[in-house]
Structure 1
């Protein structure tokens, strides 16, 4: 086994040493420069463990040796395990940011130990993603910068080619009656949109406002595997989140694509609001719609969500607490909309967790159990690539993917 830092036979740096050199450029040149500031109080023993990890990292002139890498790995494990207990001690909104930062530092030291030891980089990338998903930003968002370097050295994940098999005919595309159709507008002015749709809270489909987005020409299933195939993301498993068997699982984007998009072994949906922060290469391909400036909040208050899944994925009839622009990038979606004034006819769940979700199965409503549902008037549409649907705050909406589909939603106030 070659010594750490040795050169290869051609006189250049060995491959794993090259990665370490690139990683090292992301870090401060001195131990004092790597600040360990936390946004809150934690136990003194945790602070000492953070300082010990820093000392190990900067204890060697160059790349940490095997013993140092192993020590840093153990420190990362302890930090992650201890902070994980704190992260699961209560509601997420009540978790101290300091403990999320401790978890991020644990992922940081763990990822660096994997690189220093010359281990497969996929483990280091996964640790970075866990820190980005569960932790809070540390060292000028070092985990995002670190993972961007590491994934350049990973081979592109392969998309499997499924064996030919008999495929059931897809369900017919729902009919949209002209009298129920959501109106369309091409690039309306801010004033026109505000006066005719935002203030009166009326749904509308906007066309032409995403034509300049790079994603409209670049994004595809293959592109996602190329750009983000090695990245670990949370995936929702099950046809809809109201089903008893619904669950969540962490997996790589390439595994998600192979299992749920290509082979369609079961229903899985990549639906999350952190994807664009986690993978900024994707965020560079979209833009916040100009109409969001009509809201009361700042741009940083806008939540951007990703929705990526196979044909047949369903979001049950539900309502959201903010205004929503739903932009379709590829694939088609059938969407049905109900006014908040019809809420009583839609039978919301009585539990606090699902109070924003209807008990009615829109595809097969039980009118004996929910007789007033037939009284509720609705609008509907088939959202096509390049179209953006404005869903007013608290408007009930049901969504079904008619194809493999990727959408981006912007929640704003």
Structure 2
């Protein structure tokens, strides 16, 4: 038993790994007598073993069978079926532990394998999208019976509807095991493009076109944006844009993988020239769509960086304006204080008990202790000035003394 099998067997003993869905979508596309029959049925978890155990029609030229599972709320990538249904999928469709092991790890990769299953050679393909609305796809292809079967996990309601429509539109290409992987990758590429459009719209709503007049509420803007909250908004958009860039790189790697598999000898499917051209054109188109998104990501990232610089420049400008305004107010207060300071000082001085201006006195009387006032005043003033000027020097000396004591303590410990 391989290490993957042992690890997956350990996962199967986890009671929380199996979380059956109430409803599963079953897609069947079969070609008989040059006519393709396409059906979509809603099934339950109890129907999965019967679906997997049913062999393809003997008259079928080829068959495509897919089980589409909606997204589940719990985290940790649970398997959206019962343990009994999973055993049937593994036994009859050959979706082994190695494929599902990658799903549980959420590695964000694409891989292909050739496996032996009940004396039949199967081609196994797995795509781990690890994105919202679409999590994982795995396909096995029974080359002897021309039977393609697979699972798609984590489909949001809108993605499920889109996938069913795309599969029905390309029903004539259902014999190719790369059809479902290509369609799901194309959907993820479109999601990435939509994400970049959402970021651009949010950026425009948050700060508007990058001009100072717009930020200050002119040119059709009723209110200026909250500059204090904008840095957080721009940071969130930057993180979202970086995640979209990483997702796009994974999708480009998946498309390269699909293109290589399409060109490989192991994927030689009995397609006529027209169908091969359609399949190849679809792959090329999706790859070009993915490449066209990269400049948009770079542009959005540059716009976000420009927006951050603009916001901080505006915040600095506003701070300068406030400082200038408050500085002018302080100058007025200082001028008024200086105007009243001499009178205040003289009133305080002559109201002291050292002076006696009683009208009955022949002349003003001055206490012999008046020198105490002047000595105390000049002494306290000198102490304040010395402390003010000497505080930085004292702080420096204290730090030097602390460092010296620390060094002496270290030397004693080493000795």
TM norm. shorter chain > 0.5: no
Q: TM-score range by the shorter chain?
A: under 0.3
- TM-score, normalised to structure 1, is 0.23
Counting helix residues as a fraction of each chain, which structure ranks higher?
2
CA radius of gyration, larger in: 2
Q: Quick one: higher RCO (CA 8 Å, sep 6+), 1 or 2? A: 1
